[in-house]
Structure formats: C-alpha cells, structure tokens
Amino acid sequence: MKNHLTQLAGRVKLVLLAPMLLVLGQNCTSLTEVPHDALTPETAFKSDAEILAGVAGVYAGLRAVEWVGYETLQDLTTDASIVPTRGNDWYDNGQWLDLHRQTWTPNSAGTLAFVDGSWNDLFAGVAKANLMIDVIEKSGLAQARKDSTLAELRTLRAWYYYMLQDMFGGVPLVTTTELKQYARVSRDSVFRFLEKELLDSRGNLPDKWPAGSYGRLTKGAANAILASLYINAGVFDKNSGVSATAYNSCSGVTVTGGDACAGAIAAANAVINSGVYSLNTNWLNNFNASNKSSPENIFVIVHASDGSGIGGNWPMRTLHYNQLNTGQGGPWNGFATLAETYNAFDATDDRRAMWLVGQQKSFETGQNVTDRAGTPLVFTAKIADVDAANEAEGIRFNKFAPIPSPPVGSAQPADYTFFRLAEMYLIKAEALLAQGNTAAAQTEFNRVHNLHDAANPVTVSRDAILKERLLEFAGEGKRRSDMIRHGKFLSWTEASAHGHTDKSSQAFRLLFPLSSNSLGSNPLLTQNPGY
C-alpha cells in the first residue's frame, strides 16, 4: 500500500509539477505591467521625431480652445454672438443662453459644459507643456536647439495661462509635472509670471519659421501676446477693483521697463517693425481657405482639411443644414449675431461681407436653398424670441468661409487667427490714446479703419476703438476682454430685447466661476467672490 502510494506520488509529481513549473518558473507572482501600444515619459522622447511629436501634442491642445473653449466664450457672452433655441435644436439644457444672458452659476449648464471644459482644456495645455519642458531640459539636445524649443514651449504655456487668468483671475501657477492639489495664486502674480516668461523667451524665438514649420511660435507671436497682456494690464494686473463700468486703463500700471501703455506700444512696434508682417489688402483673405499665406497672421491655430477632423468647424456652427454637405451631414444652424452688431457695420465697410443675410445659397451648387420645412431660407437680422427662434432667424458668420463638400465637419482648412497685424495697430492706437497722444492714436487707427471704410472717417476715441475692434475681430474671440477693459461687459444692451435682468451691479461676473466639478477635485481652490 505504502509502496504503491509512493509510486503513484512519484508519477503524480511528474504529471503535475512539470506543467506547474513551466508556468510558475516565469510568472509565479510577477505583476509587472508593460504597455505595448503606448509610450511612457520614461520610454519616449529618445529621438528628434519623438520630441517634435511631443511639441505638436502641446500645440494640438489649441484646437480645444477654439470650439466652445475660451475663444468661443469670448464672443458668446457678449453681443457678438448668440445661439438661440430653435425649436428642438440648441436648447441643450439652456447652456447656450445661460452664457449669452450671463446667468451662469458654479453649477449652471453653461458653466458645467463649457467653463469647466475650458478650465480643464487650458490646464491640460499647461500640463502638456510642463511635461515637454521637463523632457527637453533633461534631454541631450544641442544648446541652441534646446533654448529655442524651451522658449517655444514656455511661450505656448504662457498663452494657456493668459487665457486662464482672463477667464478666472488668479489660478494655480504650476511649472512642474507633479500631479497634486495646488492653491490659487493672486492674479497679479500670474500677470508677472506671464510677462517674465514672454520677455525671457522671445529672444530665443525665430522671426520666422520655414514654410514647413508655419504655425510654430515666433518672436512676433510672443510680442503680440505681450502687447495684448499690457493693453489689458488695467484688468489683468489687478487682484481686485476692476471697474465694471469705467475704462480700465493700462496707464498707471507699472510693468518691467515702465508704464504698461508704453510696454504695449513697444511690443506692438516690435511686431509692426519686424518686417515680417503686412496688412492684407483683401480683408476676407485673412480668413479664407488659403489664409495660411496671409501676411497678417502672427499666431494662428493651423488647420488641415483631410478626414482626420483636425480642421476648423466655424462654418458648421453657424451655417444652415442645407447650405453645405459633409461626410457627417450638414452644418448645425446654431451661432448667429445680434441685429445691433450687424447694424454696426456700415454699408460701405468691406468687412460687412463677413455676414450672411437674406436668401441663402448652397456652398456646393450656388443654388438657393430652403429650410427643412421647404420654405426659402432667408436669414433675418431680428430674432423675435431667442427661446423659440425659427431656423432662419439671426445673421450668420461667414468669416471663416467653408470649402464645399468637406469629408467631415471639422475639415475646414482656414486657420483660426489668435493674433493678426491689424490688432497691433489698434492696441498701439488705444495705448497712445491712454497716454493722451490723440494725434498719433488717430494715425494708427486710420491704418486699419481707412483700409476698409475710407468713405466714413472716424475720429479716434475709446468708443471708436472698441467699435473698430468689434468690426475687425467679431468671431475672433476678442470681444469679452475688450468689453471688460472698456467697462461695458455688463451693460451692453440688446435691441432685440431678450436681455435678462440688469446686471450692472454684478461686477463679480467679470470673472467666470470655478465649476462645482473643479472645486470638488481640489479642496484648496477657493471660489471667485460673488458666486
């Protein structure tokens, strides 16, 4: 019996242990996890191609800034743009009118959908830049290349922070890659940080990239951001006391090298005198499908028109369903402007051509189109009831005009313009005016205005400059900052009378609230006052 057992045990050992050892020998308790289809920061960035890909990834974050990000909110919260509810289209929990009517709260539809989204998208840009800066600093790149790449990434990160402080004021200021809870810093420390980063970086940036690298940041881009930072210094450098009703001047704000107005002029001049840029004689060519060759472009989001969806979608937001065909159906018939904004454009102003009004045509066939019920599609300026608008109400944007039959909705090749040369002249004019130099201001003002509407000369004034910026930049994401700087953000009226309550006392609305979602993820964050 015992002998038998031993024999059996011997055989059993062979039968059982052989396969066991096979399995156990290698893997008994090993739980190491090795990704096969992704890189980690430790395994990536070993070659120039990988480093360029990492930098491209930081730029790619700019696309989120445009579509219902910072850029969209800049217009949508003002008289430049509105998304009326059109029957069952575009109600969307009331999020669009929540923004336009400025009724947002930390939990409201517009905040949770878009303000919170911007918070995350802009910080994602910061985090991606921080990661790449860390990688480049540790890399073995040649010093000159290292310096220029770091300057590029720091400028890009500064732009993300510029937008964050414009929306929220002081935010967590982080330049390392560690993920943890950070508290907010004061708004002026963000301002000082931006100024320093831009001043430090611009010297290492090229004046111009070769055509194949068009879109990467240049010295001109750093100067343009700096000029914009300085002209807004009366808002951006203040931890409190921004006036909701009076002009917030750059004059009297001390920055590196003197007064902020002087800084704005110097930065604008650096762009104007660089010899790289010139005004486009055909204004609409700044925005058309081939605007990559526009001499006015200083800083743009570069778009491509293939099927991968990394093009623009401005026409999709605003055009009617029946005006364009894409692989994903027609446009969405949403974004329009207010009658009073359209009426601000003189008939003689060539910039009025950015609007679509009256009987509409197909961008494919050129034939007249109807609405979905079969009635001829005629865009009208008046939106009688923004809570129950018709398909045809509201004048539409055609600034970034579409190409016909794009493969997908987001395949419009027109680059989205953050900064154009025209703005440098208008910043310069505004800063000169703030310094009291009206004559010089008029000269700079005329360089822009007279190019488009020479028949109706305008005497320069703050209001004239604010209006000129609307005419020049409507749809380009400048309006909210401009109105805040000019003390008009809470008091603009809508002739079409769908404004809400009088908000002039609600100065806290100059900053967006932090969403309940952001606050929930980081107990160190404090809410902006008033919310």
Partner 1 sequence: MAAVRSVVASLAALLLSTASLGAQTGSIRGRVVDSATSQGLPNVSVVVEGTQAGTLTRNDGTFDIAGVSAGAHSVRARRIGYAAHSVQVTVPAGGSVTATFMLVQQSTVLTEVVVTGYGTQRREAITGSVATVEGADANKGVVTNATQLVQGRVSGVEIIQNSGEPGAGSQIRIRGGTSISASNDPLYVIDGVPLQNESTTPGAAGIGSINPALPRNPLNSINPNDIENITILKDASATAIYGSRGANGVILIQTKRGANAGNASEMEYETYVGAASPAKTLGLLNGDEYRAFVNANLATLGANAAAGLGPANTDWEKELTRTALATNHNLAFSGGSAQTHYRASLNYFDQEGVVQANGLKRYQGRLNAAHYALNQKLRLGLNLMSSRVNNTFSPNENTGGFLGGLFTNMVIFNPTFPVKRADGTYFETGCAVTASSCTPSAQDVRNPVAMANQLSDVAPETRLLGNFNATVALTEYLSTQTTFGVDNTDAERRTFAPRSSAVGAAYGGYARQAERSLQNLNFQQLVTLSPHFGSNDLEVVGGYEYTKDDNRGFDAQSQGFITDVFGVNNLQAGTQASSPVPTSYETESSLVSFFSRANLSLSHKYFLTGVLRRDGSSRLAPGHQWAVFPALSASWRLSEQDFMRDQPFGISSLALRVGWGKQGNQAVQPYQTQLLLRADPGASYPFGGVISSGLRAAQVGNPDLKWETATQTNFGVDYGFMQDKITGAVEYYQKDTKDLLLEVSVPQPAVVSTRIENIGSLRNRGVEAYGDISLYKAPKRTLTMGLVFTKEKNEVTSLGDTSRKFINTGFVSGQGQSNQYSQRIMVGQPIGTFFGPVFLHVNSAGQQVFACTSKSADCTNGETTNPSDDDKQVIGNANPTFTLGVRNNATWYNFDASWLWRAEVGGDVFNNTALVYASKGDAKQGRNFLRSALDQPDAINEPSKFSSRWVESRTFTRLQNVTVGYQVPTSFTRGRATRLYLSGDNLVLFTNYSGYDPEVFVSSGLASRGIDYLVYPPARRYTLGARVQF
Question: What x-and-dash track marks residues 215-234 binding partner 1 by CB under 8 A?
Answer: xx------------------
Say how many residues touch partner 1, by CB under 8 A: 120
- Give the whole-angstrom CA distance, residue 116 versus residue 120: 6
State the nearest-atom distance from the C-beta of 254 to partner 1, in Å: 29
Determine the Cα–Cα distance for residues 366 and 359; give it in Å rounded to an integer.
11
Nearer to partner 1, 85 or 274 (CB): 85
DSSP bridge partners of 259: 254
Cβ atoms of 54 and 60 within 8 Å: the answer is no
- Nearest to partner 1 of 25, 275 (CB atom): 25
Q: Which helix (H) or strand (E) holds 416?
A: strand 416-420
209 forms bridges with which residues in the sheet? none
Residues between 145 and 184 with contacts to partner 1, criterion CB under 8 A: 172, 174, 179-182
| 375 makes contact with partner 1 (CB under 8 A) | yes
Window 256-315: residues binding partner 1 (CB under 8 A): 292, 302-304, 306-310
- Which residue among 21, 48, 60, 359 contacts partner 1 (CB under 8 A)? 60
- Token pair listed for 331: 């446009």
Q: Shortest approach of partner 1 to residue 127 CB, angstroms?
A: 4
Q: Give the closest residue to 266 by CA, choosing from 299, 229, 235, 216.
A: 229
Q: Can residue 508 be called a binding residue for partner 1 (CB under 8 A)?
A: no
Angle subtended by helix axes 421-434 and 219-231, to nearest 10: 30
Q: Min. distance of Cβ 333 from partner 1 in angstroms?
A: 10
> What is d(CA 498, CA 494) in angstroms, rounded to the nearest whole number?
7
Identify which of residues 413 and 487 has a Cβ nearer to partner 1 in the complex: 413
> Closer CB to partner 1, residue 145 or residue 456?
145
Write down the least CB distance from residue 392 to partner 1, Å: 10
Binding to partner 1 by residue 25, rule CB under 8 A? no
User: Does residue number 38 form part of the binding site for partner 1 (CB under 8 A)?
Assistant: yes
Could you tell me the smallest distance in angstroms from the CB atom of residue 125 to partner 1? 8
- Residue 63's SS3 state is helix
Shortest distance, position 397 Cβ to partner 1, whole Å: 20
When the beta carbons of 376 and 436 are compared against partner 1, the nearer one is 376
3-state secondary structure 139-194: CCCCHHHHHHHHHHHHHHHHHHHHHHHHHHCCCCCCCCCCCCCCCCCCHHHHHHHH
Q: How far is the CB of 78 from partner 1 (least distance, A)?
A: 19
Which of residues 178 and 459 has its CB atom nearest to partner 1 in the complex?
178
Q: Which is nearer to partner 1, 111 or 341 (CB)?
A: 111
Of the two residues 475 and 513, which places its CB atom closer to partner 1 in the complex?
513
The values of phi and psi at residue 152, to 5°, are -65, -45
CB 36 within 8 A of CB 282: no
- Positions 459 through 488 that interact with partner 1 (CB under 8 A): none
The residues, ordered by sequence, that sit 6+ positions from 463 with a Cβ below 8 Å of its Cβ are 486
Name the minimum Å distance from CB 439 to partner 1.
41
- Residue 329 makes contact with partner 1 by CB under 8 A: yes
Cβ atoms of residues 268 and 427 within 8 Å: yes
Report 101-120 residues binding partner 1 (CB under 8 A): 103, 105, 107-109, 112-113, 119-120
For residue 497, the Cα-to-chain-centroid distance in whole angstroms is 29
Which of 14, 142, 373, 439 touches partner 1 by CB under 8 A? 373
Greatest alpha-carbon pair distance for the chain in Å reads: 118
- Cα 310 vs. chain centroid, distance in angstroms? 15
Nearest to 445 by CA among 235, 289, 268: 268
Q: How far is the CB of 90 from partner 1 (least distance, A)?
A: 6
CB 296 within 8 A of CB 451: no
Residue 365 in the binding site for partner 1 (CB under 8 A): no
Write down the H helix ranges in 273-348. Answer: 314-318, 339-343
Q: In the bound complex, what is the minimum distance in angstroms from residue 211's beta carbon to partner 1?
A: 5
How many C-beta atoms surround the C-beta of residue 524 within 10 A?
A: 11
Q: Candidates 3-11, 230-238, 255-263, 441-449 — which segment interacts with partner 1 by CB under 8 A?
A: 3-11
Q: Which is nearer to partner 1, 174 or 266 (CB)?
A: 174
Restricting to residues 71-100, name those near partner 1 by CB under 8 A.
85, 87-95, 97
Distance from the Cα of residue 235 to its chain's centroid:
19
Of residues 348 and 375, the one with the C-beta less far from partner 1: 375
